[in-house]
Structure 1
Amino acid sequence: MKSVAGVRAWVRWAAAALAGAVACLAVAAPVSAAPEDREAAGVVVIGIPGLAWSDIDPEATPHLWGMAGTGASAAMSVRTIGSWTCPEAAWVSLGAGERAGGAAPRDAQCVAQSQIPAPEEAGGSWTVGAWEALIEANSAYNYGARLGSLADAIAISAAEQAEAAEEAAEHGEEAPVAEPGSCVAGIGNGAALAAADTEGRVAFWAPTLDSLGAAMAACDIVVVDPGVVVGDSEDRAPDATTDYDQLGSDDTEVGDEPSVPEGEHPGEIVPDADPVRVSAAKAADAAVGRVAGDLPGDWRLIVAGIADASAPSALHPVLYTGAGVEAGGLTSSTTGRDGYVQLVDITATALSVVGAELPATVAGAPVTVLPDPDRTSEAAVRAGVDETAAATAVATVDWWFYAVVSFLGCVAVGFAVWLLRGGDRWRRTAQTVCVAVAAVPVAGVAAGIPPWWRSDQPALVFWAVIAAGVALLTVAASLPQTRTGARPALVVAGAAAALIVADQVSGATWPLHTPMGYTAQVGARFTGLGNYAFSVFAAAVILLIAFVPWRGRSRIWGPVALGLAAVVIVGAPMLGRDMGGTLTLVAAVILTCLRLWGRRLTVGAVALAGSVALAAFAIGGFLDYLRPEEDQTHLGRFIGSVLDGTAAQIVVRKADASLSTIGKPLTWVCLAALIGAYLIWRRRAPIRSDRVGAAVVGLAAVALIGALVNDSGIAIPGFTATVGFGLLAVAVGPLPGPRTAPETAETTGVPERA
């Protein structure tokens, strides 16, 4: 056994290695090419609330159909405030370049927020009458939206050009040519909300497209509201009696997306099309055709379904064409995933096209075209419909998935208590149940591999995939070679860790449309490691560190290497990109290793873990912040918010989202785990094994710290308990007694402590 001094030396080196590995978190991803100062003479943005991919048809909407094939396109998340976005909130968000809400009440059919009044005219100028009400409404949200940022950014660009011209004239130098049209014009009532500056003033406004030519002559950016909302007729629309606003929250949380009506398949192109919807789509297409026909050759056109027509939310199309735009797909740095953009990216794109600098208040990023000369209209629409169906299908299964996980988690806690406190009877059953329940979230991560949403019965196929994954892992952990000692826990934990590592390395595609990952329509995260999958991964890593049979020197460097690799997977900008997960896992791994090496968890040891975790967070965040803004992850942007003084808004918003998860389904498995731990402690305390102590400390750290620093709140300890509690009980096994031989390295697969 090593001397105390030797162990201390290893501890210091391990802590230093873990802190130094933070540099890996800042390995630069491919840097996006900087756009030219001015990409086109101007851009027209047409917003069509409610427009869906399934509305684009060669006969009903020929102009939109043609744009889908000749231009670039993507599926767009329109998420602003709450779980669905009505037109008023979408227009305001477009002008702010940040998530914003409307002043009118948000009902399930978006009736109130679809009735947008025209701006008030006085002496040839226009002002949004409800501007103060919009400012007041958005002051209650913690997104820091600065309404009117789009128009102000253009005005600032013009002012800077004028100032440069004055300075040049004073020094007798040749003055730079000032760009004309440095303003935003609005056509239609909704467009006035997007074109207004921070005072609610609109530089140019007209009610109809008859003034399109004058608008393009006056301003470089023209926003158009055709006055059409593409929605279903009343007898085909979703439930209009429920106030879904009480169900939504600002972030992705358990059960916040209402489901589609029973009997309807999300994303399906219904043969008997609603005549009201078809008529609205035709009217919108006619407006698009008129703009496209009058568009100068050096201008660009963006057509987007900027809002939902009613709850629940869905993905919407965005089509991009014009000067220099090739056929293909679209992406942006805010999504990090090909084929997906966000509503706020349109704001940034419009500014980029005319060469204006993006203000810090604009959260979006300019879209990037992914050229594909073989892209056809049919292929683009088919892909959009499929992406919409995949995102929408999650809403039909997510609440039930979380409820089932919570129920089964409570059952597993009961069997785990029996396994550690009870007699021989039902021992094998208890072990099997603990393994099977721990496998459910793991199967949930893998559920995105097959396209279950394409089935005629997507919910049924989804649960079949979950059942198959659970059965496979349970059988693998019950073979004669794997069913004794800690081996079942290592099988499930190893499978979970390997699955998530493979997904992250291959592009993080599997959890995109699963309850264990993230849905693109919510817009919170499009790639990387989601909070729920992080909980599974972190629990698996802790169990592997604690129960892998390390021998000799590998007892020191093995856990350190495994911990370092796990931190890189979670935090690296080209992999997990998980800000809160990085902080949580660094602290949890350090505490686990210290306990595994026989160190007492004194106040100093806990302070060491916290200090290294904060150092890793700060160093990794600062290095990420130094990268180009378009390539920064959440971590780098958070450091930027700390430097500009807006971090408090983010912290408050995330804290509010975290608190809102209390009482949701996974709360009950957390309570069950606390009760179960107390019952086990009464019978078996104190913990005499370093391995068991390391696992308990590590899992507790993941649950507690994760709940505090992630906006998923109670879901972090919920999934951690579902995976870790039962597997830990299986690894520990029953108390040695008259009817049970003491466990040895031979039966557990884990060498006894020296």
Structure 2
Amino acid sequence: MTRRWILSTAVAVVAFLLASMAVSAALARPAHRAIGQPGPLVIVSMPSLSWSDISAEKTPTVWALAQQGAVGNIVTRAISAHSCSLHAWMTLSAGARATLGKGPGETGRGEQVQPCKGMPAPVQVGKGARFPNWKRWRTISLGRPIPADLGLLATRLRSQGSCVAAVGRGGAIGAADTNGFVARYSPTVAAASFTECPVNLVSLSSTDDAGLADLLSRLPADSTVVVTGHADDQTIESMRAVIVAGPRVPQGLLRSPATRQPGLLQNSDLTALALSRSETNPPALLEGRKPGVEPKSNANRSIEQVRDVSRALFVEHRVVAPFFVRFVLGAVLAGLIGLAMLASTRLRRWGRRWLVAVGAVCGAVPVSTFLVGVIPWWNTSRPGTYLSLSIMAIAVVIAAVAVLGPWRRWVAGPAAFLAALTATVIAIDVVHTSPLQFISIMGLQPVYGGRYYGTGNVGYALLASTSILVAALLAGRWMLRGRRDLAVATILVIGVATIIIDGYPAWGADAGGPLALLPAYAYLALNAAGLAVTWKRILVVGGITVVLVGGLGFLDYLRPPAYRTHLGDFMASLIENGQLTSLQRNVRANWTMLTSVWINAFVPVLLLLTIYALIARRSWIGRPLSRVTDRVLFLGHGLAAIAICWLLGFVSNDSGTAIPPSGMIIVAPLVIMIAASTGRPTPADVPEAEVAADHGDDAPRATPVRAG
């Protein structure tokens, strides 16, 4: 039997590695190249410029730059959901997201865009200018949970014997030093000189192609030009276009270590680009990283790629709410139909089949929202409709495989298949910088300040819940064979793999994830081994968790600053400055999410009811669940471990409010499938007749028949 366990584990590991290698081969990209700046750097803002605005006919000057240089999308969100030019320029100045007061919120469906604050005007002082209120703005900005040091860009460049010139009010915000002084300031392009300072910030009022042409005609021939639509302003939130062109700028897609996605920068990366021209090894910025270029020979293909990403991210976010409202209503209606069929003696058998099918489709939807990313749905005439229909079509196919596959003979087989498939797809995606999660409706939501790579909170909830469920179900099968040692080994193998994938800085880069996963798996392993969960063991597990997460963060901290993730940045902040800014941000973000929308207040209630149902097995809410857990050995402990993971994830992650309901979306249908299944409760080599009816939930019902 041990040989069988080793063989099955080896097959699973090899299959995962082969699939991962195939994805790596498909996503292989050329080495990145640096952006050279032989002459002055000129950063030009065209607020709300997106790739849908750019064409050879409408914007010939912008189009010509895109044909010559590197292209991408730029994430413009600062603190608020809607980005404004004022905040974008402050972000460029500080190298981290910054704001002045509370910015506009997200624009809902059918709503008008909330207005942005006006751009303050500097007071002209000789060739330069000054902002009288800068000291107060800077004090407020530094007092935020994640402090932004306004004036950092100009002050650092000045310390290197350099300066920053500004054209227009916005450019002056970006060019001001920590005292609010701008070294060179011109209200208009016509009055500006682009040879006095090596870095020049120009703010145009709109997508002015003719104005850009006039500007380019005034620049030295060796200038490096950045054109960016760095804010939403009066338009709905979206990715904005960014182009970098110059004599030493390779043609291709812009890349940043901060985003790890092809063709994607953030506003603060432009700060790092400006600093890189005068500092050989510049100190790490809080958020910005020096961008590079992924070489591409076909400019039109590069433009098409970044345009597709922008369109996909815009559409998928608008689809999220209506899709899940219809999905939940449809699932509830289908469930009620199934219960009505169960109430009928003649239709009871069909009612069970109906519930299994409905549970399978609903349980397959989460993984389908990721897999649909391999289909270019964004290029259709009605991308939102095509996206929704494609998700459901993929879910139906996966559900059919789950229900009709050879594993259907085991009562939990179809559910285990769906859980394993979901965990595997997310794990492989995370290992490859999350390209599917990036554009999924259950993914990272980068336009609104979510992650750009790694494990987002929704993806984490799905990965954690399904991996724990698979570990518990497989462990129960080994326990039925009388092999607690192999049950524990199964839990440890799956648990260690999940924790590494989720927490490793180059993959999941998730600090809060392992904090919740390790205790959940420890609880599962202790019960599988027949050991009591004591306070002493809880403290030991807690200590190991802190050491593990701290060790991952410290290893990330040892890497060069430009390549650190937020784990390494947190350790750097703690070790070098004694600050817990990331922790403060997590607490603040979680509280804001919990209180901003009334329905989110029910998340703790849902979590507490789930825990109560698992503990109070004979209560009115626990009795239906106990009937299900009694059918499958160790399922109850698996659900308890999932609840532990949800609880700890809820309190340890920013936006942790999303974790319990996201996990429930997949766990609930799988539990319903198990409840309605007519399969065997035991493996084929363990006769049901030799297993006692009342087995509890943590031990074999009787001495099982050993095989192998």
TM-score > 0.5 by shorter chain: yes
Map 1:27-426; keep pairs closer than 5 Å. 39-103=37-101, 106=104, 109=113, 111-113=115-117, 115-122=118-125, 125-132=128-135, 134-135=137-138, 138=141, 141-158=144-161, 182-213=162-193, 215-217=194-196, 219-226=197-204, 228-229=205-206, 281=207, 284-355=208-279, 358-372=282-296, 374-376=297-299, 378-404=300-326, 426=351
The CA deviation at 1:480 is 7.1
Equivalent in the alignment of 1:501: 427
Give the direction of change, closer, same or farther, for the CA distance of 1:119–1:605 in structure 2 (3 Å limit).
same
* Residue of structure 1 equivalent to 2:655: 712
Contact 1:659 1:713 in 2 (8 A): no
- Please state how far the C-alpha of 1:198 moved relative to its aligned partner: 1.2
Query: TM-score if structure 1 supplies the norm length?
Result: 0.77
The verdict on how the C-alpha distance between 1:70 and 1:102 changes in structure 2, with shifts beyond 3 A counting, is: same
Unaligned residue ranges in structure 1 (runs of 5+) = 3-28, 159-181, 230-280, 735-739
Compute the RMSD of aligned alpha carbons. 3.6
The alignment partner of 2:373 has SS state of: coil
Aligned length: 640
User: One-letter code of the match for 2:119?
Assistant: I
Matches of 1:394 and 1:43, distance apart in 2: 35
The correspondence for 1:612, drawn from 544, 550, 555, is: 544
SS in 1 for 2:407: coil
User: Partner residue of 1:462?
Assistant: 387
1:651 to 1:411, Cα distance in 2 relative to 1, 3 A: farther
| Secondary structure of 1:301's aligned partner | strand
Residue 486 of structure 1: aligned partner: 412
The structural deviation recorded for 1:532 is 0.7
Paired residue for 2:438? 512
Q: 1:608 to 1:720 in 2, by over 3 A?
A: farther
Matches within 5 A, 1:413-562: 426-479=351-404, 481-483=406-408, 484-548=410-474, 549-550=477-478, 552=483, 553-562=485-494
Any idea what SS the aligned residue of 1:57 has? coil
The separation in 1 between residues aligned to 2:687 and 2:642, in whole angstroms, is 21
CA deviation string 1:433-481 (max 9, x = no partner): 3333222222222232212222222222122122113222332232274
Task: Out of 49-58 and 334-343, give the one that drifted further.
Answer: 49-58
The answer as to whether partners of 2:172 and 2:182 remain within 8 angstroms in 1 is yes
Whether 1:633 aligns to 2:633 is: no
Q: Tell me how far apart the structure 2 counterparts of residues 355 and 712 of structure 1 sit (CA, whole Å).
A: 36
Bigger drift between 573-582 and 335-344 goes to: 573-582
- Compared CA separation, residues 32 and 387, structure 1 to 2 (3 A): closer
Say whether the 8 Å CA contact 2:556–2:567 is kept in structure 1: yes
- Counterpart secondary structure, 2:294: strand
Contact 2:423–2:463 (CA<8 Å) still a contact in 1?
yes
CA distance change for structure 1 residues 503 and 109 in 2, over 3 Å: closer, same or farther?
closer
Residue in 2 that maps onto 1:271: none
Contact conserved, 1:409 with 1:721, CA < 8 A, in 2? no
User: Given the alignment of the two structures, is residue 681 of structure 1 paired with residue 622 of structure 2, yes or no?
Assistant: yes
Q: What SS does structure 2 have at the residue aligned with 1:364?
A: coil
Q: Judging changes above 3 Å, is the alpha-carbon distance between structure 1 residues 634 and 382 closer, same or farther for their aligned structure 2 residues?
A: same
Q: What is the rounded CA distance, in whole Å, between the counterparts of 2:30 and 2:309 in structure 1?
A: 27
What SS does the aligned partner of 1:303 have? strand
* Equivalent residues in 2 for 1:561-640, closer than 5 Å: 561-640=493-572
- Per-residue CA shift, 1:166-212, capped at 9, x if unaligned? xxxxxxxxxxxxxxxx1111111111100001111111111122343
Which residues of structure 2 form unaligned runs of 5+?
3-27, 106-111, 692-698, 704-708
2:25 aligns to what?
A: none
Give SS of 1:98's match.
coil
TM-superposed CA distance for 1:632, in Å, is 1.3
**Distance apart, 1:352 and its partner CA:** 0.5
Contact 1:41 1:354 in 2 (8 A): no
Letter in 2 for 1:705: L
Cα offset, 1:546, TM superposition: 0.7
Contact 1:347/1:362 (<8 A) preserved: no
Matches of 2:643 and 2:67, distance apart in 1: 53
Quickly say closer, same or farther: Cα 1:744–1:703, change in 2 above 3 A: same
Letter of the 1:375 counterpart:
N
Report if the CA contact (8 A) 2:83-2:103 is conserved: no
Which secondary structure does the structure 1 equivalent of 2:645 belong to? helix
- For residues 84 and 462 of structure 1, the distance between their equivalents in structure 2, rounded to whole angstroms, comes to 25
Q: CA 1:74/1:386 → structure 2, altered by over 3 Å: closer, same or farther?
A: same
Give the letter for the 1:341 counterpart.
L
Alpha-carbon separation, structure 2, partners of 1:698 and 1:478: 26
Distance 1:727 1:103, change over 3 A: closer
Contact 2:167 2:201 in 1 (8 A): yes
Question: What's the CA shift string for 1:84-131, capped at 9, x where partnerless?
Answer: 111111111111111111358648656553x42431124554211442
Q: Deviations over 1:60-103 (max 9, x none)?
A: 32221111011111111111121111111111111111111135
The answer as to whether partners of 1:655 and 1:711 remain within 8 angstroms in 2 is yes
Between the two structures, name the one with larger relative contact order (CA 8 Å, sep ≥ 6): 1
